[in-house]
């Protein structure tokens, strides 16, 4: 972790959460929370590892690689828009852009790149952007999350934090109600996963979806489950939420794409 690039408050928030879960789950290593609910349920973790041996998302990584390497009409390509030509960089996304004072997710950066090169942006709910970001995540596997909260980013970070801890929807649940207060308990047959580790493995192949999807699709699904009207993918509120959640994963290993129930 590049310590001084993270504002003191943000680092304290992350350390408080790590301490909270270390106390609640003394037998679970910090790094294991990157496996979500599987870190808390050995029987399900075994089945999950067997699926990961022959993962259903593999064709999408290949498709993402093909799209990533397809030149734009002006002859340029995605590689020219990113540091290290876009390979092994996802652990630094989302990042705060001091010029626009906005959180830039990897999806947003991909579309910026297209627009800079005269291409039309991809739909945030479509397959192409999921495939491209899945490939980019794949090339970043094993890297440790290192998201900075520079001066000027506090407002975006705090908005994401407020979202996480605020109750929403007719059923009146905050993200933290289930994934902090009730983490480790069963909601019907499912064990509720911990807050830390929620942003490491995207895009994810969810068995419920039968396809890969990004973290904003999961946000929307969660919001709808508690009876709230979902916000748009890549809306400012969702980008700020992803920013907060990923800062909370600083120091964890990126393990996307992955499968989840």
Q: Which of 19, 71, 116, 128 binds other proteins (CB under 8 A)?
A: 19
Q: Token pair of 127, please?
A: 């397959």
Q: Which residues in the 172-231 window bind other proteins by CB under 8 A?
A: 172-174, 176-178, 180-182, 185-189, 192, 224, 227-229, 231
Q: Token pair of 250, please?
A: 């600083």
Does residue 9 bind other proteins (CB under 8 A)? no
In this chain, which stretch among 36-44, 65-73, 116-124, 167-175 interacts with other proteins, using CB under 8 A? 167-175
Mask of contacts with other proteins, 231-260, x by CB under 8 A? x-----x-----------------------
Give dist(CA 176, CA 249) in Å, integer: 15
Check: CB of residue 206 under 8 Å from CB of residue 260: yes
> At closest approach, how far in Å is the CB of 258 from other proteins?
25
Does residue 101 bind other proteins (CB under 8 A)? no
Using only C-alpha atoms, what is the Rg of the chain?
18
Q: Which of 4, 5, 9, 12 binds other proteins (CB under 8 A)?
A: 12
Give dist(CA 260, CA 203) in Å, integer: 10
Query: With 0-12 CB in 10 A as exposed, 13-18 as middle and 19+ as buried, what is 205?
Result: buried
Give dist(CA 8, CA 16) in Å, integer: 12
Q: Token pair of 218, please?
A: 């999961």
List the catalytic residue out of 81, 175, 178, 222: 222
Please, which residue, 66 or 167, has the CB nearer to other proteins? 167
- Helix or strand run (H / E) with residue 191: strand 190-191
Does residue 82 bind other proteins (CB under 8 A)? no
> At closest approach, how far in Å is the CB of 84 from other proteins?
35
Q: Is 222 designated active site? A: yes
Give dist(CA 2, CA 254) in Å, integer: 16
Does residue 46 bind other proteins (CB under 8 A)? no
> At closest approach, how far in Å is the CB of 257 from other proteins?
28
Give dist(CA 99, CA 153) in Å, integer: 11
Q: Which residues in the 107-166 window bind other proteins by CB under 8 A?
A: 162, 165-166
In this chain, which stretch among 9-17, 32-40, 128-136, 205-213 interacts with other proteins, using CB under 8 A? 9-17
CA angle 161–177–246, rounded 5-degree value: 35
Give dist(CA 148, CA 238) in Å, integer: 18
Which phi and psi (to 5°) does residue 168 adopt? -140, 165
Active-site amino acid positions: 222
Residues that bind other proteins (CB under 8 A): 12-13, 15-17, 19-20, 23, 162, 165-174, 176-178, 180-182, 185-189, 192, 224, 227-229, 231, 237
């Amino acid at each position: 972790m590049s310590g001084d690039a993270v504002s003191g408050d943000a680092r304290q928030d992350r350390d408080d959460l790590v301490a909270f879960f270390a106390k609640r789950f003394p037998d679970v290593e910090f790094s294991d929370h990157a496996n979500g609910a599987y870190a808390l349920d050995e029987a399900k973790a075994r089945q999950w590892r067997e699926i990961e041996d022959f993962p259903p998302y593999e064709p999408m990584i290949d498709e993402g690689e093909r799209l990533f390497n397809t030149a734009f009409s002006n002859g340029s390509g995605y590689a020219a828009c990113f540091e290290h030509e876009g390979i092994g960089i996802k652990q630094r996304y989302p990042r705060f852009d001091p010029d626009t004072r906005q959180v830039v997710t990897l999806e947003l950066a991909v579309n910026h790149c297209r627009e800079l090169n005269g291409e039309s942006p991809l739909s945030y709910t479509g397959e192409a952007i999921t495939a491209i970001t899945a490939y980019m995540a794949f090339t970043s596997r094993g890297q440790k999350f290192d998201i900075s909260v520079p001066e000027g980013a506090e407002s975006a970070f705090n908005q994401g934090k407020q979202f996480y801890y605020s109750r929403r929807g007719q059923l009146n649940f905050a993200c933290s109600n289930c994934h902090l207060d009730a983490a480790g308990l069963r909601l019907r047959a499912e064990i509720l996963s911990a807050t830390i580790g929620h942003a490491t493995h995207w895009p994810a192949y969810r068995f419920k979806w039968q396809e890969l999807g990004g973290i904003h699709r999961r946000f929307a699904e969660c919001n709808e489950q508690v009876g709230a009207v979902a916000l748009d993918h890549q809306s400012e509120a969702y980008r700020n939420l992803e920013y907060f959640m990923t800062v909370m994963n600083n120091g964890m290993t990126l393990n996307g794409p992955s499968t989840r129930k």
